Amino acid sequence: MMENEQLLSLVRSRAQSWLADSYDEETRRSVQALLDKEDPADLIDAFYKDLEFGTGGLRGIMGVGTNRMNIYTVGAATQGFANYLKREFAKLPQVKVVIGHDCRNNSRRFAEISADIFSANGIKVYLFDDLRPTPEMSFAIRRLGCQGGIILTASHNPKEYNGYKAYWDDGAQMIAPHDRDTIAEVNKVRDVADIRFQGNKQLIEIIGAEMDKRFVEALTSISLSPEIISRHHDMKIAYTPLHGTGVRLVPMVLKAFGFTHLIHVPEQDVVSGDFPTVVSPNPEEPAAMAMVVAKAKEADAELALATDPDGDRVGAAVKNNRGEWVLLNGNQTAILFVYYLITRRKELGLLKENDYVVKTIVTTELIRSIAERNKVELFDVYTGFKWIADVIRRNEGKKNYIGGGEESYGFLCEDFVRDKDAESACAMLAEITAWAKDQGLTLYQLLEKIYREYGYSKEVGVSVVKKGKTGADEIEAMMKNYRLHPLEEIAGSKVEYVYDYANLKGYSCRDKETFTLDMPTTSNVLQYITEDKTKVSIRPSGTEPKIKFYCEVHHAVGSGDLEAAEIAASYKIEQIKASLGI
């Protein structure tokens, strides 16, 4: 009880500081309304902490408060980032940044305010004239020789959210020490008076169509099968941007690759931060894919694609052997990408000894099997595309990146962008479909072929949502309990290895030996590998109020029945859920 009273007292004090004249009238009114409410839950959630950089940067619900996305939290983040950029690049005559934004409510406003703050600090700003995909912003940083960049987006989160992703000079989201040091600079901005809101318009340059042209031209250079595309150029592809940034760029890229028959979902081509046709604009969710699948079915298309609001994740649907439309998950699309990029390069004599692919530790191990059998080096990294970008940066000039992805519907086929790219992924999925068609296969049948060659795998993610301060405490308690009472058996199979990335320690249950995990830093992830190669990973989300469980099971098929393998794998997944109590 005493602890709750202390928290409420701290929160009220923080909220009352937002009633000062340095805050605008609308903000002061909203804060006072929270203070006047009988139930303090909303007040506590708005002020109990500051928004922090997680795996995806700054992200939160829009509204007043230190734990909300608003002009002051965005302003403090930008001022802190500006201070850090000026310190790190003090020897340069001119520090430069790129600013992009998605379709969300307030995104343009936050982008323009950020441009003012950067320019007020003497930093040259390239501001996109309208919404653009995250990967194009990453591309522009490198193309324009900038030292950093930001994009205002909450990716696939519901409409109440917005976010702020900060990028370094390599076009990738920041990692240590830059993320940590930027946070330190942001935390020094304790007063609104410290934020320079009055911009220098002479330092703000609007960019747009010319950068689009360069971006699209660069993406067409990664195509491996232009002749095959020309044979199947009129293949029907249904596509939706889910009201977001892919609305112009994805059609442009598909056309540039050579595809001529794109089917739109007109209602979802409407740019809107309210996402009027979906509950959540997340292509991972079947409901978000419903309209594009219906359109594909109506048109008898061969592929259905959807991108999230900031154009970095892609969802896909294809027809199975019975002509029914089925959704591919992020692991399946990643399998198709890696298989195609390696196999096609081998066909063309382009596969090199120094080629490599990257996946995250919670992404399917089938990618490892494909890479190892083809003697292609594989790097395993933490969740978050900044870690894939980190591998690309460290190997630049030494090894040749050919692709990397994660189970959460993100893939990158090129190294001149340093974040997941749904624009190139859409074009490459279309290219893979054309390549399969050239062999008399559908995309679904190509996936079946891969499973027969490398073994069947099924991956299921389960997210348990725990909102607010109490939810964060519950998640912390769950992780502590898993560490104090490690699982010894999962779904009838003994645990063989336990990897705790929080302390970079692995443990062999069979040999009773502890060993060190080779990773660049720690991460709050627990992973279990059982004797039958089942993999279970547990991690709190870095960007959302949830704890995630990733379950992966394997089944040999050869020339056998894939449906039987699917049934057996689904049964095993249910056993795993029971073992975990989820």
Which residue segment(s) compose the domain that 557 sits in? 456-580
CA distances from 346 to 342, 374, 375, 412, 449 (A): 6, 9, 11, 19, 17
Asked whether residue 96 falls in the same domain as residue 128, the answer is yes
Q: What is the DSSP letter of 375?
A: T
User: CB of 221 within 8 A of CB of 417?
Assistant: no
Q: Is 101 exposed, middle or buried (0-12, 13-18, 19+ CB in 10 A)?
A: buried
Residue 35 inside a domain? The answer is: yes
Asked whether residue 470 falls in the same domain as residue 505, the answer is yes
Residue 166 inside a domain? The answer is: yes
Residue 140 inside a domain? The answer is: yes
Residue 87 inside a domain? The answer is: yes
> pLDDT tens, position by position, for the chain (582 residues)?
455 788 999 999 999 999 999 999 999 999 999 999 999 999 999 999 888 765 456 889 999 999 999 999 999 999 999 999 999 999 999 999 999 999 999 999 999 999 999 999 999 999 999 999 999 999 999 999 999 999 999 988 899 999 999 999 999 999 889 988 988 898 899 899 999 999 999 999 999 999 999 999 999 999 999 999 999 999 999 999 999 999 999 999 999 999 999 999 999 999 999 999 999 999 999 999 999 999 999 999 999 999 999 999 999 999 999 999 999 999 999 999 999 999 999 999 999 999 999 999 999 999 999 999 999 999 999 988 999 999 999 999 999 999 999 999 999 999 999 999 999 999 999 999 999 999 999 999 999 999 999 999 999 988 988 887 788 888 999 999 999 998 999 999 999 999 999 999 999 999 999 999 999 999 999 999 999 999 999 999 866 779 999 999 998 886 667 888 888 899 999 999 988 888
Nearest to 415 by CA among 210, 128, 135: 135
Query: Which of residues 398, 433, 454 is at a domain's end?
Result: 454
Asked whether residue 303 falls in the same domain as residue 437, the answer is yes
Asked whether residue 278 falls in the same domain as residue 317, the answer is yes
Residue 83 inside a domain? The answer is: yes
Element (H, E) at 548: strand 546-555
Residue 484 tokens, joined? 């104090």
Asked whether residue 285 falls in the same domain as residue 305, the answer is yes
pLDDT tens, position by position, 202-260: 999 999 999 999 999 999 999 999 999 999 999 999 999 999 999 999 999 999 999 99
Asked whether residue 406 falls in the same domain as residue 500, the answer is no
- Given the residues 107, 114, 119, 155, select the one marked as catalytic: 155
Query: Which of residues 454, 485, 509 is at a domain's end?
Result: 454
DSSP string spanning 79-109?
Answer: HHHHHHHHHHTTTSS--EEEEEE-SSTTHHH
Q: What is the CA radius of gyration of the chain?
A: 24
**CATH number of the domain that 273 lies in?**
3.40.120.10
- What is the tally of structural domains in the chain? 4
Residue 110 inside a domain? The answer is: yes
Residue 335 inside a domain? The answer is: yes
Q: Tell me the C-alpha distance between 67 and 70, whole Å.
A: 9
Dihedral over Cα of 517, 520, 521, 526: its sign: negative
pTM equals: 0.94
CA angle 226, 231, 232 (to 5 degrees): 95
**CATH number of the domain that 492 lies in?**
3.30.310
Residue 363 tokens, joined? 């992404």
Whether 17 is catalytic = no
Asked whether residue 411 falls in the same domain as residue 528, the answer is no
Asked whether residue 475 falls in the same domain as residue 416, the answer is no
Q: Tell me the C-alpha distance between 31 and 19, whole Å.
A: 7
3-state secondary structure 154-198: CCCCCCCEEEEEEEECCCCECCCCHHHHHHHHHHHCCCHHHCCCC
Query: Which of residues 405, 424, 454 is at a domain's end?
Result: 454
pLDDT of amino acid 419 = 97
Asked whether residue 405 falls in the same domain as residue 509, the answer is no
Residue 116 inside a domain? The answer is: yes
Nearest to 523 by CA among 330, 362, 284: 362
Asked whether residue 465 falls in the same domain as residue 417, the answer is no
Asked whether residue 463 falls in the same domain as residue 540, the answer is yes
Asked whether residue 132 falls in the same domain as residue 24, the answer is no
